[in-house]
Amino acid sequence: MGKTRSAARGKASAAPAGPWGGRARPNPNPFEVKVNRQKFQVLGRKTRHDVGLPGVSRARALQKRTQTLLKEYKERDKCSVFRDKRFGEHDSSISPEEKMMKRFALEQQRQHEKKSIYNLNEDEELTHYGQSLADIEKHNDIVDSDSDAEDRGVLSAELTATHFGGGGGRLPGKATQQPGGGEEPPKSRRELIEELIARSKQEKRERQAQREDALELTEKLDQDWKEIQALLARKTPKSESGGRKEKPEPDAYDMMVRELGFEMKVQPSNRMKTEEELAREEQERLKRLEAERLRRMLGREEDAHSKRPKHLSADDLNDGFVLDTDDRRLLSYKDGKMNVEEEPSGDPSGGESREEEEEGEGWSEGGPEDSDSPDGHSDLESDAGSEDARGPDGLESDAEGEDASERPQRGQRPSPGEQLTRDDRAAARAELPYTFAVPESCEELKSLLLGKSTEDQLLVVERIQKCNHPSLAVGNKAKLEKLFGFLLEYIGDLAASDPPELGVIDKLVLPLYNLCQMFPESASDAVKFVLRDAMHEMEGTVETTGRAAFPGLDVLIYLKIAGMLFPTSDFWHPVITPALLCLSQLLTKCPVQSLQDVVKGLFVCCVFLDYVSLSQRFIPELINFLTGILHMATPNKQSQGYTLVHPFRAHGKNSELLSVSDEEDMATWQRRSLPLQWAGGLKAQTETEANHTRLSCLAVCLALVRRCVVAYGPLPSFHDIAQPLRALLTEHLSARCYPPTLQDLSRSILTEMESQPRHCRPLVCEKSKPVPLKLFTPRLVKVLEFGRKQGSTKEEQERRRLIHKHKREFKGAVREIRRDNQFLARMRLSEIMERDAERKRKVKQLFNSLATQEGEWKALKRKKFKK
């Protein structure tokens, strides 16, 4: 019952003339209206039940029940139901027209099936859209229209009548005058419509066919034209246009226009930039990157920056740049740029890098991805023409050196000059295959690279990269990401080999850098992985013995490479910060036991100082280490103005590792750089060579001390930091047992130290904002409803609302059920009454007839008696 009720409700709400439809009526019967009087008028309260129409609503409820409940009640004992099986009767999705069509088709089918199967003569009538084909053939040119446009203007009475006209009986006269049905008996309206529909559809089809024909023809013509065009292409466009003028054939022109329309259009592009613009752009880019770097170095939060990105990008960048003009790093950019602009080919290293770059581009052309660039063909001529315009671009790439490799898509654009070099290079390197699959493991990569010359190795790596550029296939990205790790491992192997193949590593750094630029995440993961490996190894030995030996050259090279791939000046960086800790561990946990350890330690110091070269951060371990090294080089240790810390001992077997006493060796020594190979393995040397190495190490150490003094000079307690160094250097000088160059160096360091300002300004805390007094602000509670519902939480209110609603609904449902029952009872009563009345009537009738019979019989009897 509830079901019927809810259905009824839905209907009621859907009906626009709802319960209070009466209000909308112009003058409701005042006797039907019941007014619910309000005790108080409340402003803003919507009253919904002020006026009711009890009679109307009762009648509607009654009607609804008669339609639903009563029906159910009457059919309560019946099993069979009437069902309307007409096609699509209850389907509202089919339009009435379609419905009609389908019904017609079904009817036809039924008729057809009913035909006698033995009746061979009766051919089935072929129809199209319900229209006999024979008829269509007869009258196919009745409406002969080329296009829709012609048809559009026609607005005959007949057409309008058939299209829009109402019932069939409106135009009886005209229907008979139809051309098709003149002699035939007048068709029904339905047939007429169908005919019309069929006709128009047919026309449409014809028009379509015609258009297709035309298209086909045009295409054919296009093809012909193309064949001819190939011949015409040699001619100057002028003569071509001239020829066209001579033959003003409209079809040809149309074809041309259409062809031009179909031809692939060149994408609009920015105009070619001038030299100054390019330079400025490059400078802007560097500025932006530098500002970004500065921000990270100072450890400022990003959000301050990202709040107003638009504004900052315009003003703030310039400010940052101007402020930092004294930054040496930045100046060097400027210098480099200016240098290049003045004498583009003067810089030998720039020239070299250009050659390398050309190599890359040269055979990138030969690679398979050449076919991938669709505009390569058409660009050839235009590029040749705009060679001059591209000139500055070339220079620019010269100037930036590796800039082009940073933006590969630009670098891949071939220029004719490079094409020339390509051929002979390709010939020279015919033995190397052009395509390589990305190695799946490090061993595979090793097998690819081992035994080849440096150039070939580079070539192989670059070809692997180019053949598997992420834009070429889906899986390439993941593959190349792995390649970075493999390359890193390979470099480690190279460094660990004896002798270390540093030349190859030196060249492999470039592809590593490029890969890192492409996949920063995976590259950082790979670097982290190798660092963690190295640290774990060290941790093991440190835990057991409290110290560890200096690790192999590979770890040092990893650290150096990490510093080249990632910005070392960041306040915090996911790779660099652990790498810094790793360096610090090398300097604090590894005791220096041999000359090789000294070389390694000095290399670590160099890497460490390079890391902080921009940020000028303070490294206590480094000072300690340099102090220790200087201590080792001090021959007689009487004065103790300094203390050595952990890995170094004031006295012990290694405390005089670097001291040289041979006068002759000192005289013959010449200052030169330390070969990095020594860190990998120091060959047995003669005493003189060893002494020279010692002196070289000392020279490097002094240079590093000098660098530290310059870098840390501005630090507040610089003199306390540098105190042990100063003590050692004065001792050195007083001993006078070193070559004059070294003594000069020490002396200059000492003067540098003294020249640093000694100002000690007392520290002052930054003023912090005064903490505001605690105020007791009143607690504001939103008053939603007066009464007991006030002041509860939102959830509680919601719950109460639901409970209330449920109660109301429940009451309503009970009421409806009660009314249903009442209705049914009423119905049942009326049925019984009806039945009783019928019976009474029948009984009466019977009595009546019996009485009549009796009367008649009595009358007859009386007659007989009378007789």
Partner 1 sequence: MEGDVGPGDARRALGHLVEAVLASRGEANAVFDILAVLQSEDQEEIQEAVHACSRLFGALLARGELFVGPLPSEEMVLTGSRGATLKYKVWMRHRYQSCCNRLGELLAHPSFQVKELALSTLMKFVQLEGEHPLEQPKWEGNYLFPHQLFRLVVGGLLSPEEDRSLLLSQFREYLEHDDIRYHTMQAASDTVARATDGRPEVPLAFWNNAFMLLSSVSLPRQEGTLSSFYVKHTELSDKWKVVHLKEHRKAFQQMWLRFLKHQLPLRVCKKVLVIMHDSILPHLAQPSLMIDFLTRAYDIGGAVSLLALNGLFILIHKHNLEYPDFYRKLYGLLDPSVFHVKYRARFFHLADLFLSSSHLPAYLVAAFAKRLARLALTAPPEALLMVLPFICNLLRRHPACRVLVHRPRGPELDADPYDPTEEDPAQSRALESSLWELQALQQHYHPEVSKAASAINQALSVPEVSIAPLLEVTAFEIFERDLKKKGPESVPLEFIPARGLLGRREDLCAQHFTLS
- Using CA atoms, how far residue 192 sits from 162, 176, 199, 205, 402, in Å, is 8, 11, 11, 20, 81
CA distance 121 to 115: 11
CA distance 788 to 780: 18
Mark 385-424 with x for binding to partner 1 (rule: CB under 8 A) and - for no binding: ----------------xxx-xx------------------
Measured from the CB atom, the residue of 158 and 403 that comes closer to partner 1 is 403
Q: Which stretch binds partner 1 (CB under 8 A): 289-297, 372-380, 387-395, 471-479?
A: 289-297
| Count of Cβ atoms closer than 10 Å to residue 280 Cβ | 12
Measured from the CB atom, the residue of 464 and 607 that comes closer to partner 1 is 607
CA distance 540 to 367: 48
Interaction with partner 1 in 308-347: which residues (CB under 8 A)?
332
DSSP code per residue over 136-195: HHHTTTSS--SSHHHHHH---HHHHHHHH--SGGG-HHHHHT-STTSSSPPPPHHHHHHH
Q: Which of 458, 488, 676, 737 binds partner 1 (CB under 8 A)?
A: 676
Interface with partner 1 includes 669 (CB under 8 A)? no
Spatial CB neighbours of 531, under 8 Å, sequence gap ≥ 6 = 558, 559, 562, 575, 578, 579, 582
Interaction with partner 1 in 749-808: which residues (CB under 8 A)?
758-766, 768
Main-chain phi, psi angles of 51, to 5 degrees:
-125, 130
- Using CA atoms, how far residue 218 sits from 221, 248, 257, 543, 677, in Å, is 5, 18, 12, 86, 75
Determine contact, residues 652/749, Cβ cutoff 8 Å.
no
Measured from the CB atom, the residue of 362 and 500 that comes closer to partner 1 is 500
Spatial CB neighbours of 207, under 8 Å, sequence gap ≥ 6 = 146, 147, 148
Interface with partner 1 includes 607 (CB under 8 A)? yes
- The CB-of-629 to partner 1 minimum distance in angstroms stands at 13
Q: Which candidate, 398, 258, 297, places its Cα nearest to that of 341?
A: 398
Interface with partner 1 includes 705 (CB under 8 A)? no
Interface with partner 1 includes 517 (CB under 8 A)? yes
Interface with partner 1 includes 302 (CB under 8 A)? yes
| Count of Cβ atoms closer than 10 Å to residue 458 Cβ | 20
Interface with partner 1 includes 626 (CB under 8 A)? no
Q: Which of 278, 496, 703, 824 binds partner 1 (CB under 8 A)?
A: 703
Interaction with partner 1 in 222-251: which residues (CB under 8 A)?
none
- The CB-of-675 to partner 1 minimum distance in angstroms stands at 5
Interface with partner 1 includes 506 (CB under 8 A)? yes
CA distance 853 to 846: 10
> Is the peptide bond preceding residue 724 cis, with omega within 30 degrees of 0?
no
CA distance 287 to 317: 7
Measured from the CB atom, the residue of 172 and 620 that comes closer to partner 1 is 620
- The CB-of-491 to partner 1 minimum distance in angstroms stands at 9
Interface with partner 1 includes 580 (CB under 8 A)? yes
Q: Which stretch binds partner 1 (CB under 8 A): 119-127, 386-394, 556-564, 662-670?
A: 556-564
Main-chain phi, psi angles of 128, to 5 degrees:
-130, 120
- The CB-of-448 to partner 1 minimum distance in angstroms stands at 21
Interface with partner 1 includes 300 (CB under 8 A)? no
Interface with partner 1 includes 848 (CB under 8 A)? no
Interface with partner 1 includes 836 (CB under 8 A)? no
Q: Which stretch binds partner 1 (CB under 8 A): 417-425, 698-706, 780-788, 820-828?
A: 698-706
CA distance 601 to 701: 10
Q: Which stretch binds partner 1 (CB under 8 A): 77-85, 358-366, 562-570, 748-756?
A: 562-570
Q: Which of 62, 549, 609, 690 binds partner 1 (CB under 8 A)?
A: 609
Q: Which candidate, 755, 699, 690, places its Cα nearest to that of 722?
A: 755
- Residue written as tokens 């460490």? 608
Q: Which of 507, 637, 747, 819 binds partner 1 (CB under 8 A)?
A: 507
Q: Which of 131, 457, 468, 524 binds partner 1 (CB under 8 A)?
A: 524
Measured from the CB atom, the residue of 52 and 578 that comes closer to partner 1 is 578
Interface with partner 1 includes 581 (CB under 8 A)? yes
Determine contact, residues 648/728, Cβ cutoff 8 Å.
no
Spatial CB neighbours of 736, under 8 Å, sequence gap ≥ 6 = 743
Mark 345-384 with x for binding to partner 1 (rule: CB under 8 A) and - for no binding: ----x-----------------------------------
